Structure 1
Amino acid sequence: MLIRHLDFFVTLAEERHFGRAADLCGVTQPALSLALRKLEEDLGVTLILRGQRFMGLTAEGERVLIWGRRILADYGDLRAALDGRRKGGLTGTLRLGVLSAAAPLVPALSARFEARNPLARLSISQLAPEAILAGLRGLALEGGLTRAPEEEAEGLVWTPLWREAPLFACRKDHPFASGLAHGWSDASTQPLCATEEMARREFAPRKIRAAVVCSGLDGVLAHLREGLWCAVVPEAFRHLLSAEDDILLHPLDDEEAAPSLGLLTAARAPPSPMAQALLDCVAALREEWTQAAPSA
């Protein structure tokens, strides 16, 4: 079995179209079909449901797809490690999925990664928790900064980093600038701005309706600066504020009750070079993040 034949198969499974898969693999469609037939012969099973077009994978094909992705990932990791040795450092791209609540903390991680791996690049995608899980399991991501999985995440390793305590945000000239006497009860009396995720996770269970819902924290910050709205934001929002921002933050919940956020990586031994580089950077920043959030 040739690695490139396995690569052809995985590409076809992802594209679900013989022509597109052939183009991506840099071969003709007949050459692609021949290579896939050879892979099936080598494995002794039928992998692809064929008709006049791609019809899907057989049950055996679905199992081979899982293993194929793992084998190709390991092969890519080996090539990256050897290439890094020759070029004097890690090369390639670190693919990181990030929950919106964790986005303000990413630049600190990016700076540390860039300093340690100047030949490598970062690809950062803001994703929902379920998309991060799917990306890690499908080997499309090396890591995910996200909320703790509600259930045991088989095949993944969870490293808690900080608490996602919700904070009330307002301008310094707001009546609540000195603090909230009754937490959420006080906050709900104000015109509030929030991210879509915060509105769904924090507002909806409390039957609170946000006046403005933004896709990201940058939009929330822009509305806060206008002074017409208050907001409920995650702990990491502190890292978006500049010295010129006349905005104060007050806790709404007991920090111990706040959900934990952290890093998810694939449970592979050894980790891929990119995943190991990410883990090293997170380990170096973990104490700094833990101490900075409550005292900022």
Structure 2
Amino acid sequence: MNLLESLRYLAALAEHRHFGRAAQACHITQPALSNAIRALEDSLGATIVRRGRQYEGLTPEGELALAHAHRLLHEAEGLRQALASRAGAPAGRLTLGVVPSAEPVAARFCALLQALHPGLQPVLRSLSSPEIEAGLDALAIDLGLGYTDRPEVRQRQLAVWPQYEERCHLLTAAGPGDGAAEAPFRFGPPVSWREAAALRLALLTPDMHFRALADEAFASAGVAPRPALETNSVLALLMAVQPGAAGGLAAVLPGALVSVARSRPGLVARPLASPVLRTPIGFLTSAGGRPTLALQAALAVAERDDWRALVAAHSGALEGADPAAGPFSA
């Protein structure tokens, strides 16, 4: 039995929560993955996976084995990177967990990182804030991009690398007074949360941290919206606003999605005010474990002036910034 491979299969099973999908991610057959997990159980002398007609989770012994697996796999990846990397040319895998509202920023970061270091293989995963925090703690992911002011970040003593302040916008279709549906995207004047609550809104689902922040802003304005559409997909939230649609939906968006909306004509983004909501977003790293060369390279890129300019233009922090400026603006 190859112990590291078996631990990698265990980590994949815990991530995908399905034998078939885990086997596909590991590029092996489902029977091969199942046999490897059983061999690992025999080697450890404990049942680590609860099985019924399908995967039902890990046993307490399995959770302990998974924690050790993440650490061993992290050390093994660090060793591979150290052996494969030349001076100034890091190579290897970097797993980045990102909250959905920051996905456009994270995608641009990975593109810039890979362009600067072709030997790196960024893996971008959309995760909730608790999943990012737990993943960093367990060394299951290398780097997070998320909300840095959450109490859990301080409790876990995660290292924070500030990036930008997330601001909220209301995205609507251009009205008759704003020009045709083919008119270029534009920013409109601020709108209050109270005014926004009266519209047919598309919002993220209540389990998402951005929605919790938006609900707090609505409550502070003395209103409670009744959303016409809820989704946990930031793409669906963006596409819910259709130019030229009579009586269509408006969406409450994080600033990073506004940058994506700018490519669509017939839309208007208005900053939400009364109150103005500013939430810090940053990179997060684990306080434990030795940083791999890939992680060191990523953090160095996060400090570069060209990245700082790029994130300012695409995070919604600067409404007047030109998204065509700088590299990787698409």
State the TM-score, normalized to the length of structure 2: 0.68
Partner of 1:289: 311
Partner of 2:327: none
C-alpha RMSD of the superposition? 3.9
Q: CA 1:259 to 1:118, structure 2 compared with 1: closer, same or farther past 3 Å?
A: same
Whole-angstrom CA distance in 2 between matches of 1:9 and 1:174: 60
Tell whether the 8 Å contact from 2:101 to 2:254 is kept in structure 1 after alignment.
Answer: yes
Partner of 1:74: 75
2:239 matches 1:222: yes
Partner of 2:199: 190
Q: CA 1:229 to 1:117, structure 2 compared with 1: closer, same or farther past 3 Å?
A: same
Partner-residue secondary structure (3-state), 1:70:
helix
1:37-82 deviation per Cα after TM superposition (whole angstroms, max 9, x unaligned) = 6xxxxxxxxx7369xx9x9566xx9767645532441232022121
Partner of 2:324: none
Query: Which segments of 5 or more consecutive residues in structure 2 lack a partner in the other structure?
Result: 20-28, 52-57, 179-186, 322-330
Tell whether the 8 Å contact from 1:94 to 1:274 is kept in structure 2 after alignment.
Answer: yes
1:33-112 counterparts in 2 under 5 A?
A: 36=43, 48=46, 56=59, 66-67=67-68, 69-85=70-86, 89-112=89-112
Tell whether the 8 Å contact from 1:10 to 1:65 is kept in structure 2 after alignment.
Answer: no
1:139-158 counterparts in 2 under 5 A?
A: 139-148=139-148, 149-151=150-152, 152-158=154-160
2:140 matches 1:118: no
User: Of the two, which has the highest radius of gyration?
Assistant: 1
Structure with more helix by fraction: 1
1:192-211 counterparts in 2 under 5 A?
A: 192-196=201-205, 197=208, 198-203=210-215, 206=219, 207-211=224-228
Partner of 1:160: 162
Query: Which segments of 5 or more consecutive residues in structure 1 lack a partner in the other structure?
Result: 38-46
Tell whether the 8 Å contact from 1:170 to 1:231 is kept in structure 2 after alignment.
Answer: yes
Q: CA 1:73 to 1:268, structure 2 compared with 1: closer, same or farther past 3 Å?
A: same
1:188-243 deviation per Cα after TM superposition (whole angstroms, max 9, x unaligned) = 11111222234444137632121122332322222223341222111112220235
Identity %: 23
Partner of 1:231: 251
Letter in 2 for 1:79: R
State the TM-score, normalized to the length of structure 1: 0.74
Shift of residue 147 of structure 1? Answer: 0.9
Shift of residue 104 of structure 1? Answer: 1.7
Tell whether the 8 Å contact from 1:203 to 1:209 is kept in structure 2 after alignment.
Answer: no
Whole-angstrom CA distance in 2 between matches of 1:172 and 1:13: 48
Residue of 218, 241, 244 corresponding to 2:261: 241
Whole-angstrom CA distance in 2 between matches of 1:202 and 1:283: 30
1:100-149 deviation per Cα after TM superposition (whole angstroms, max 9, x unaligned) = 11012123212211112213322212111111112222222111111123
Query: Which stretch shows the higher mean deviation, 131-140 or 170-179?
Result: 170-179
Partner-residue secondary structure (3-state), 2:121:
strand
